[in-house]
Amino acid sequence: MIFVTVGAQMPFDRLIRAVDAWTGERGRQDVFAQIGPTDYRPEHMEWTKFLNPPEFNACFRDCTAVVAHAGMGTLITALELGKPILVMPRRADLHETRNDHQLPTAKHFGERSNVDVAYAEPELSACLDRVESLTVDGRVGPTASPELVAAVRSFIEG
């Protein structure tokens, strides 16, 4: 199953439409999308507007790959679970977000082997074709770096 998620805060129809079209073209029956607060209705994939954390975690666990906005929560979860992930950054000029922080986020995390980036819709179809075969070099642990934990801990106790 390919799990598509755009977070709960804002819609991201540009991504959802493109993934929906790809799903139709490829005849895939196993794409599930969390589409956020939008009136757009996907035609070719199963969808829901929102997922609670247990449902979100279950989709993440069961999927073969994730397709998402370049949100930090989704990216970190993909790294924790060692899932291949394709992200498309939201753009402020299209009112998909309030600032363009997802662009550098995507660029930076795109350097990891299991993270691929599509900067715009035309690239998306080719990226979707290969997302399930991205290499996963293991997972990141469940906690912050020892240095950060130590810094915060010593401040708390200081």
CB-CB contact of 4 with 32 (8 Å): yes
CB-CB contact of 69 with 57 (8 Å): no
Strand 65-69 vs strand 2-5: parallel, antiparallel, or unpaired? parallel
Q: Is 53 in the site for other proteins (CB under 8 A)?
A: yes
Question: Of 33, 35, 42, 77, which lies in the binding site for other proteins, with binding defined by CB under 8 A?
Answer: 77
With CA atoms as reference, report the closest residue to 70 among 98, 114, 103, 34.
Answer: 103
Q: Is 94 in the site for other proteins (CB under 8 A)?
A: no
Q: Is 75 in the site for other proteins (CB under 8 A)?
A: yes
Smallest separation, CB 126 to other proteins (Å):
25
> Counting every residue, how long is the chain?
158
Instruction: Give the CA count within 13 Å in the CB-facing half-sphere of 76.
Output: 7
Binding segment for other proteins (CB under 8 A), chosen from 1-9, 13-21, 34-42, 118-126, is 1-9
CB-CB contact of 40 with 17 (8 Å): yes
Minimum CB distance to other proteins smaller for 53 or for 122: 53
Q: Is 34 in the site for other proteins (CB under 8 A)?
A: no
Minimum CB distance to other proteins smaller for 54 or for 122: 54
Q: Is 5 in the site for other proteins (CB under 8 A)?
A: no
Tokens 């994939």 correspond to 45
Which residues of the shown chain bind other proteins in the complex (CB under 8 A)?
Answer: 7-9, 52-54, 71-77, 79, 98-99, 101-102, 104-105, 107-108, 140, 142-153, 155-157
